[in-house]
Amino acid sequence: MPAIWDLPDFDSHEAVHLFEDRATGLKAVIAIHSTHLGPAAGGTRFWHYADSQSAITDALRLSRGMSYKNAMAGLSAGGGKAVILANPSRAKPAELLDAFARAVDSLGGKYVTAQDVGMSEADMVHLSKTTAHVAGLPDQGGDPGPYTARGVYLGVQAAAKHVFGTDDMHGVHVAIQGVGSVGGGLARYLAQQGAKLTLADVDAARAAALAAELGGVSVAADAIMSIEADIFSPCALGAILTEDSVAGLNVKAVAGGANNQLAKGIEGRMLADRGILYAPDYVINAGGIINVLRHIDSADDVEINRRIDAIPGRLSEIWKESDASGSTPAEVADKMAQKLIGR
């Protein structure tokens, strides 16, 4: 196994902490990518990995992503990520969480944790009994979904403006993949503004019910990426933009809330070559983290809204630079983020 410095996902991370607590069986990684803009903030993932190197790789990759996301959201926060290596039974006893909270606390606030896959709101509250370095607790703003949905709506509108020259959404046809917290909220904003909606979800009844309520139509989950529409909005899973799916798209823009939409990264170039505008995922979906990290610099509701309102402007800046330079929007966003974190 190569040393951590030699792993392909190592990106001059400031620190990578490996924790082990023999009494509770805790094994955890806390990767601090950057504290240039503030404490390294990012969620804790509780996951069963095939091997420990996969866990380290995940922490490296996700913490860099948080640096970029927090920087582009204009937050006084750097990027970090923790992963707890679950055993195959995924047991999560209180003592294990206590040991993890002590690990977080031992970093003295350099890392601030939030909720991620495998961790519940109750788990976060539990951690907060041992360490103060927990963000997004129920009394600090609660569910990030509605904030993310509003930012994604503003980003979809910005995409329409960039492509069609107007941000009037009347009659603009948006195909939404996944109508959960983010996609469902987005659909409501769009319906209010007179957009035409096609919705899909693996829970077909959920998509059909929302389409009936909002005056749209629903299609099968496997059809949503090839229907003819103006904008495709992925709001379900990551890695949905692949060589094949990009070739089948029948839209002018892709703008949605899902994380890590580009399966390998190269799909950003394929979208550009097909003349399809792309809204970099971590820029458009930052509304939730903007709210989750509100206590880091004591932002009030007015400031939270101002930060979310800044999302479309940032996307426009990216698209203009992309048009001028020939770099893809994803490449431009990464470069902007790197500059913001002093790299």
Please give the positions annotated as active site.
81
| CB of 242 closer than 8 Å to CB of 263 | yes
The span from the CA of 181 to the CA of 25, in Å, is 34
The DSSP bridge pattern shows strands 78-85 and 26-34 to be: antiparallel
**Interface with ligand NAD, residue 150, by CB under 6 A:** no
Binding residue (CB under 6 A) for ligand NAD from 193, 259, 305, 338: 259
Of the ranges 72-80, 118-126, 130-138, 253-261, which one interacts with ligand NAD (CB under 6 A)?
Answer: 253-261
Distances (CA, A) of 169 to 6, 110, 172, 301: 48, 43, 5, 26
**Interface with ligand NAD, residue 59, by CB under 6 A:** no
The span from the CA of 89 to the CA of 34, in Å, is 33
Closest residue to ligand NAD, Cβ-based? 180
Query: In angstroms, what is the minimal distance from the CB of 140 to ligand NAD?
Result: 14
7/209 with CB nearer ligand NAD? 209
| CB of 231 closer than 8 Å to CB of 159 | yes
78/184 with CB nearer ligand NAD? 184
177/327 with CB nearer ligand NAD? 177
Kindly state the greatest CA–CA separation across the chain.
62
| CB of 200 closer than 8 Å to CB of 207 | yes
Of the ranges 32-40, 56-64, 173-181, 300-308, which one interacts with ligand NAD (CB under 6 A)?
Answer: 173-181
**Interface with ligand NAD, residue 79, by CB under 6 A:** no
Binding mask 194-233 for ligand NAD (x = CB under 6 A): ------xxxx--x--------------x------------
- DSSP secondary structure of 46-106: EE--SSHHHHHHHHHHHHHHHHHHHHHTT-S-EEEEEEEE--TT----HHHHHHHHHHHHH
Query: In angstroms, what is the minimal distance from the CB of 129 to ligand NAD?
Result: 25
Binding residue (CB under 6 A) for ligand NAD from 40, 62, 158, 236: 236
**Interface with ligand NAD, residue 178, by CB under 6 A:** yes
CA 120, distance to chain mean position in Å, is: 17
| CB of 285 closer than 8 Å to CB of 261 | no
38/65 with CB nearer ligand NAD? 65
**Interface with ligand NAD, residue 65, by CB under 6 A:** no
**Interface with ligand NAD, residue 74, by CB under 6 A:** no
Q: How many CB atoms lie within 10 A of CB 300?
A: 9
**Interface with ligand NAD, residue 238, by CB under 6 A:** yes
Query: In angstroms, what is the minimal distance from the CB of 141 to ligand NAD?
Result: 11
**Interface with ligand NAD, residue 311, by CB under 6 A:** no
**Interface with ligand NAD, residue 28, by CB under 6 A:** no
216/288 with CB nearer ligand NAD? 288
| CB of 299 closer than 8 Å to CB of 41 | no
What per-residue string of b and e applies to 139-163 under the rule 16 or more CB within 10 Å gives b?
Answer: eebeebbbbbbbbbbbbbbbbbbbb
107/186 with CB nearer ligand NAD? 186
What is the Cα gyration radius of the chain?
20
**Interface with ligand NAD, residue 177, by CB under 6 A:** yes
3-state secondary structure of 251: coil
Q: How many CB atoms lie within 10 A of CB 132?
A: 10
Amino acid at 135: A
**Interface with ligand NAD, residue 24, by CB under 6 A:** no
**Interface with ligand NAD, residue 70, by CB under 6 A:** no
**Interface with ligand NAD, residue 280, by CB under 6 A:** no
Instruction: Return residues touching ligand NAD (CB under 6 A).
Output: 144-145, 148, 177-183, 200-203, 206, 221, 235-238, 257-259, 285, 288
